Amino acid sequence: MHAITLYVNGATHRVLVDPLAPLLRVLRDELALTGTKEGCGTGYCGACTVLVDGEPVNSCLYFAVDADHKSVTTIEGLAENGSPSIVQQAFVENGGLQCGYCTPGMIVSASALLTDEADPSPQQIRSALSGNLCRCTGYQSIVNSVRAAAETRKSTQEATEQSRGRSPVKSRA
């Protein structure tokens, strides 16, 4: 067993882990963070996606010992002040979820995309979510959900800038 320190959703956790234990098992079994799902167990479906130092990883394949002293964000950690994040809310409002099993991985991947790309095209969204499988939807509602989240973030940012007395930067297209 190895002692590791994980920074999960802003909290520090010291845990003893088997060196071959996947991060998914530690999150679910040791830390009781069950929002992250195990789908295929082979890294193919993306249901287990979490962020490690801001990058999406399949936690079923990622060894917990490799996350030692790294920042891990799960679906639970995306909430903002106890409320659903903009991305989580957009999935609810735009039908981006069906049975919900793939939803945590989709939302985590979409959140990572929107951190890097504020206004992604539908093609960029599909590419960013290509490692996440859903057997219930035709993916269009998921793409629509991510676009809606991007638009909400943009309008929220503009409103914040206006309230601070700054005018939002407009493109000269």
**CATH number of the structural domain spanning residue 110:** 1.10.150.120
Q: Show which of 53, 78, 103 is a domain's final residue.
A: 78
pLDDT of residue 163: 81
For 70-125, write each residue's pLDDT tens digit.
999 999 999 999 999 999 999 999 999 989 999 999 999 999 999 999 999 999 99
Structural domains counted in the chain: 2
Tokens describing residue 13? 């956790």
CB 5 within 8 Å of CB 14: yes
Q: Show which of 78, 97, 121 is a domain's final residue.
A: 78
What's the CA gap between 110 and 146, in Å, rounded?
6
CB 47 within 8 Å of CB 102: yes
What's the CA gap between 142 and 146, in Å, rounded?
6
pTM over 0.85? The answer is: yes
Answer yes or no: is 171 within a domain. Answer: no
For 61-72, write each residue's pLDDT tens digit.
999 999 999 999
CB 104 within 8 Å of CB 35: yes
Buried b or exposed e, range 90-124, using 16+ CB within 10 angstroms: bbeebebbeeebbbbbbbbbbbbbbeeeeebeeee
What's the CA gap between 93 and 155, in Å, rounded?
17
**CATH number of the structural domain spanning residue 61:** 3.10.20.30
Q: In terms of residue numbers, what domain contains 67?
A: 2-78
